Amino acid sequence: MQHKDINEDIRWAQINKDVLRSMENPRKAYWISVGICLALLSLAVIAEIYQYNVGLGPTNLNWPHMWGLYIATFIFWIGMSHSGTLLSAILHIIHADWRKPIYRFAEAMTTFTLMTAGLFPIIHLGRVWNMYWVLPYYSDRGIWPNFRSPLVWDAFAISTYLTSSALFLFIGMIPDLAICRDNTRGWKKKLYTVLSLGWRGDDRQWRNFRKTYLIMACFLIPLAVSVHSIVSSDFAMSIMPGWHVTTFPPYFVAGALYSGCAGIITLFILLRYFFRFEQYMTLPILEKTCKLTFAIAMVWTYLNLIEYSSVWYGHDTVAKELLIDKFTGPYSPYFWAMNILGSVLPFTLAFEKLRRHIPTMFAVSILLNVGMWLERWMIVSPTLAMSYEPFTHTVMWASWVQWFIVIGSFGWFGLLFLVFVKIFPSVSMYEVKEMIFHRRHLANKDIAAVMHRRSSDPQPSEGH
């Protein structure tokens, strides 16, 4: 059984070769995946064109159920985006170097999930053509958006997060793009020449690069936390039972990291299989990701139970009724499914045997995300179904229009990701080299002593 995170004897030329190989000559499976994604996306496009022309009626959204799957899926995708930041920024500043082979695609996932998520608030608008009114631009009419509204905060938060994570992804890629530039021909070479920003790899460039990367990481962490807190305030700022919950910001952030980590496991397994990245995306790294997911799942479960118990022991009768209705009412199958998938299923991650069994982990990671999607839906819909006014208690089941757009969003994300992996290196070459270098030389005490100049750095004798 493999115990080391990465094979330390691997040659650097081999790393370049393996990663660059993944970007060449798409195979049949790739084109099939592209086809599937395009098909899913076209479903969404058809539904959106229909909805745009007719109005929101065909979605089955109705009078108490003004929001539905769109907002639920919006939160789901925003949540998915958070783990990229976790891997690339948080683990970067705490020097967890096992992140290095897998953070690149996670960061790409962040960017693309945000690009998917950002579409949903736009799609769900009644008058899409006026969506720019949410932004504070100088208008001849002299009116501004309502800065008190969490939806305006959303617009700020998401666009900021999208810009910064795309920048972070790009900055982290510059040395790799230079490698690509030196190893490709034709239009690709031109593209990488522009994108690598004249990277030569000299000392000054590396110094500036490290500094920028660190600053971006430090900037991105509070940003990521605030983004999902703001998304949660769409609900927490309202007055409705089941939404008006003080613990929503941490609950949403935990849920976000949770579904994001599950998403990373899914993509990890897919990339490992299709691109034969067994050398880099190794089982010990998968295991570490699984452990991380398990820890976050437990945090999420804890916060979830806190939410139930604070309602249960509170004095808000309507909220209590709503909670009982969640457990027993028309939405109860989905509610129970969410709890089982979200809180019980992660215990499979606690067993080493299962963690190392790739097909199981693939299925589990997808099921965890199904659970997390259900969680978002169970936040949005039951409250709308069962709020203060008993006259308005109704249940809404989404129509094909909503489902097509929700399904199509997966196609859109998949398409973006597929394009990414063929144009950009999905494993960070220079950081894998760094990781191997460090690991190799940590064994050699003389070199390690030179490398670790600061006294606070861990000495080679400790740990590892």
Partner 1 sequence: MSAMQLFFGRRLLSCQSLRSPGRSLLLPLGFVVALFAAAPLLAEVPNAVAPTETYSGDQVEQPIEFPHDIHAKVNKINCMYCHTYARRSKVAGIPPTSKCMGCHTVIATDKPRIKKLTEYWEKGESPKWKKVHDLPDYVHFTHEKHLQRFIFDNKDMKVENASEVCAFCHGEIKDMTVAQKSRPLTMGFCRRCHEQNKGPFDCWKCHK
Partner 2 sequence: MSLQNILQDWSKYRKGNEEGGFHDYEHLWGLAIDLNKCIGCNACSVACYAENNLAVVGKDKFAKHQEMHWLRVERYWDEPDLGEQAVSDYQSHGASFLPMMCQQCMAATCEPVCPVAATYHTPDGLNAQVYNRCIGSRYCSNNCPYRLRYFNFYSYYEDSWPAPLNMQLNPDLTVRDKGVMEKCTFCVQRIRAAKDVAKHEHRELQDGEFTTACAQTCPTQAIVFGDLLSLHTAGKAESTLSTLWRDQQVELGRTEQHKQNPDKRGYRVLEGLNTDPKVMYLERVREV
Q: Which is nearer to partner 1, 1 or 143 (CB)?
A: 143
Number of neighbouring beta carbons within 10 Å of residue 325: 19
Q: Is 388 in the site for partner 2 (CB under 8 A)?
A: yes
Q: Is 149 in the site for partner 2 (CB under 8 A)?
A: yes
Q: Which is nearer to partner 1, 144 or 308 (CB)?
A: 144
Q: Is 237 in the site for partner 2 (CB under 8 A)?
A: yes
Q: Is 127 in the site for partner 2 (CB under 8 A)?
A: yes
Q: If you ran DSSP here, which 8-state letter would residue 223 be given?
A: H
Q: If you ran DSSP here, which 8-state letter would residue 459 be given?
A: P
Q: Is 141 in the site for partner 1 (CB under 8 A)?
A: yes
The residue from 142, 186, 333, 390 that contacts partner 1 (CB under 8 A) is 142
In angstroms, the CA 453 to CA 449 distance is 7
Q: Is 126 in the site for partner 1 (CB under 8 A)?
A: no
Residue type, 218: C
Q: Is 390 in the site for partner 2 (CB under 8 A)?
A: yes
Q: Is 126 in the site for partner 2 (CB under 8 A)?
A: yes
Structure tokens at 378: 């169970």
Residue-wise DSSP of 154-175 = HHHHHHHHHHHHHHHHHHHHHH
Q: Which is nearer to partner 2, 35 or 57 (CB)?
A: 57
Residue 141 CB, shortest distance to partner 1, in Å, is 4
Q: Which is nearer to partner 1, 52 or 144 (CB)?
A: 144
Q: Which is nearer to partner 2, 60 or 193 (CB)?
A: 60
In angstroms, the CA 83 to CA 256 distance is 7
Residue 249 CB, shortest distance to partner 1, in Å, is 30
Secondary structure of residue 60 in the 3-state scheme: coil
Count of residues that interact with partner 2, criterion CB under 8 A: 48
Binding window for partner 2 (CB under 8 A); candidates: 5-13, 96-104, 123-131, 181-189: 123-131
Secondary structure of residue 26 in the 3-state scheme: coil
Secondary structure of residue 327 in the 3-state scheme: helix
Q: Which is nearer to partner 1, 149 or 301 (CB)?
A: 149
Tell me the angle at which helices 69-85 and 203-236 cross, rounded to the nearest 10 degrees: 150
Q: Is 147 in the site for partner 1 (CB under 8 A)?
A: no
Q: Is 140 in the site for partner 1 (CB under 8 A)?
A: yes
Number of neighbouring beta carbons within 10 Å of residue 343: 17
Residue type, 15: I
In angstroms, the CA 47 to CA 44 distance is 5
Helix count (H) and strand count (E) of the chain? 18, 0
The residue from 173, 254, 384, 421 that contacts partner 2 (CB under 8 A) is 384
> Alpha helices of 184-282 — where are they, by DSSP H?
186-195, 203-236, 248-274
Site pattern 400..439 for partner 2 (x: CB under 8 A)? ----------------------------------------
Residues that bind partner 1 (CB under 8 A): 138-142, 144
